[in-house]
Chain A
Amino acid sequence: MASSNPHNAFISNKFPDEILDPFGKKFGEVQVKGGKAFLTNENQIPRDQVDFVITQDNCLVIGRKHTTLSDRGDVLAAGRLTFKNGIIRRITNESGHFRPTVEEGRRYPELFQSLGFDLTGAKFELYEFTLNSNGEVVNKSLAVDEYLL
């Protein structure tokens, strides 16, 4: 049963014992200033699709490979983000290691808004994942496809 408070509801890493992917990397923590996202390490926000997690201590971290971003731990949110000019344009729940359910994904807008992000006009896509006996994704289908108001 999911918690009604999105800050208390963790999404588990489904492969916690797996070694970290050598290609995983963190771009850094993202915060908001003047309505625009920026990386706190002063690197430029990439203008493409990146992996993200919101950690248990409520930090938005972007980069490549979710388990690297979460240090293999459980998270509040995991998926992909698309930025354009420092604005979030798309949020999804696409993560094979965390496989957030649609119900878990529905909490994402509130989590981002609590971090100060304006999601007006952002595309919000939630997928349902079909798994095999090894817990691997064998199919994904789009369950929510909308623009946030």
Chain B
Amino acid sequence: MIDKQQDMKRSLDYLYKNELELVRLNQFVHELRKYDLAEILAYLADFPFQYVLNFLLSNPLLWVNMKPADWVKIMSALNPRPKPFKPYIEDAGYVDIHFLCKYVRINAIKLYLQQEKFTNNDKKKLLLYSNKVVSSLFMDELDTELLDGKYFVHIGKLENVRINLTSTGEIKELNYTQSELTKYIEKELKVL
């Protein structure tokens, strides 16, 4: 078990070190599929945020068939959450929220708050962080254009993932505008 985890860390370190040479990380996806995505993201939580987000977007085979419970497991693996405010703006310790809200378009904040086993302290940190980056939780035309299935996942695949994740009603689509999401976050902060 420890050997497998060490192998995973070595592979992820190698990928990061050779990020430019391995422009298409997809060639390593079979290697990465041996490992639990929750463990992968927990290890990558200290890496640069944009790298980790790109890692997810360019490796859809790692998450395309995941169920709501799998995402809750990832959320749990990323606990305890880092401080919401640091010298840098975005934090890979919250990459699940960015990925699910912005790209899959589900209300990952609500899903997180629903988890009784997560502490109020973590929930508060997640809300403060989400409030800070709320303008980055929405796609614009250029983001959409880059989701062409060549380097990043195709947008159609993300839509299928959203449909599958929301089909049981356990997870809601994120239908808010930015100002509505801000109000929702502020309301939840008052409740905590």
Which residues of A approach B to under 8 Å, CB–CB? 14-15, 18, 21, 23-25, 27, 43-44, 46-51, 64-65, 80, 82, 84, 89-90, 94-97, 123, 127, 129, 132, 134-142
Contact = CB atoms under 8 A, between A and B. Distances in A.
Interface of B: 16, 19-21, 23, 46-48, 50-51, 54, 57, 84-89, 128, 131-133, 135-136, 140, 142, 145-146, 151-152
Given A44-B23, A84-B145, A141-B135, 11 more contacts: A14-B87, A21-B48, A23-B46, A43-B21, A48-B151, A51-B48, A64-B50, A96-B87, A136-B86, A138-B128, A142-B135
Contacts of B88: 65, 96-97
**What 10 A-B pairs come out closest when comparing CB atoms?**
A96-B88, A136-B85, A64-B48, A96-B89, A43-B20, A48-B54, A47-B151, A96-B87, A15-B87, A49-B50
B87 A18 contact: yes
24 contacts: A15-B87, A18-B87, A23-B16, A46-B23, A47-B23, A48-B50, A49-B50, A50-B50, A51-B50, A64-B50, A64-B51, A65-B48, A65-B88, A82-B146, A96-B89, A97-B87, A123-B140, A127-B135, A129-B89, A134-B85, A139-B131, A140-B132, A140-B133, A140-B135
A127 B131 CA distance: 15
The main secondary structure of chain B at its interface with chain A is loop
B112 to A, nearest CB: 20
Nearest to A129: B89
Nearest to A96: B88
Which of A24, A48, A123 has its CB near the most chain B CB atoms (within 10 A)?
A48
Given A48-B151, A64-B48, A64-B50, A96 B86 contact: yes
Contact of B85 (A14, A21, A138): A138
A137 B47 CA distance: 19
Which of B16, B20, B87, B136 has its CB near the most chain A CB atoms (within 10 A)?
B87
A132 B87 CA distance: 10
Which of A18, A47, A132, A135 has its CB near the most chain B CB atoms (within 10 A)?
A47
A55 B172 CA distance: 45
A66 B37 CA distance: 28
Contacts of A141: 135
Nearest to A28: B20
B19 A80 contact: no
Which of A134, A140, A142 has its CB near the most chain B CB atoms (within 10 A)?
A140
Contacts of B23: 44, 46-47
A50 B46 CA distance: 17
